[in-house]
Amino acid sequence: MRKAMTLSTGIDPLDRKLDGGIHPGSIVAVVTPPEAQVEPLLVASINRRPTHYFTTVKTEDGTRRQLDRLADEPRLERLEHVGIEGALSTILSHTESLGDGHDVIVDVMDPLENDLSMTRYSTFLSDLSQCLLDTDSIGLLACLDSGNEPDNRELTLTIADYVLRLVPERGSKKLAYYLEVPKATGITLTENERVFKIDLGRDVRIDRSRDI
């Protein structure tokens, strides 16, 4: 029986907007500018739930260093550079044996969105969604908002249950952002509730207590 609960995003103001967090079994598209530090949004819950982290363009060592700066003891079940060729089968082969309540992170999706036919990419997202549903897990897909949209980006946003978009604050003298929630399946949000200012250092909390 599906759990009637939510899992914390680790982002306090976002959890409040979403009535506690993300529903298990969901795909979340996290859309950010290339210059933004996306890792805090992706791994805010990394000390809360075991995480399987797949990177397409970043090295494993570089990714691990970034994660170690964000969390004392990140709960990494797997960290793997999957590249582009064969990435889909590699990711699915591991997610098919997910434990209950795990997080799956793919960083970044852009090469896969560009390199694959719509049919193959749609099948991948459908298979991933089923794995997440079967295990009450969450999948976070990092997508770059570079102005040059990949061929299958619209498909990513259509299939995703939640879409989070990080938008730089125009005219700000320091690095400041708004977080938009253009899509949250099952949640009713007003236009004003869908956009709020976010401080990546203050609002995105990393639980270092390991009290899961």
In the predicted structure, residue 174 carries a pLDDT above the cut 80: no
In the predicted structure, residue 40 carries a pLDDT above the cut 50: yes
Containing 87, the helix (H) or strand (E) segment is: helix 87-95
Buried-state track 47-72, b at ≥16 Cβ within 10 A, e below 16:
bbbbbbbbbbeeeeeebeebbeebbe
Q: What are phi and psi of 186, to 5 degrees?
A: 85, 0
For position 201, what pLDDT does the model report? 66
Q: What is the pLDDT of residues 149-159, one digit of tens each?
A: 999 999 999 99
Q: What is the pLDDT of residues 72-107, one digit of tens each?
A: 667 889 999 999 999 999 999 999 889 999 999 999
Question: How many whole angstroms separate alpha carbon 74 and alpha carbon 122?
Answer: 31
pTM of the model: 0.90
Mean pLDDT of 47-66: 90
Q: What share of the chain is helix, strand, coil (3-state, %, to 5)?
A: 30, 25, 45
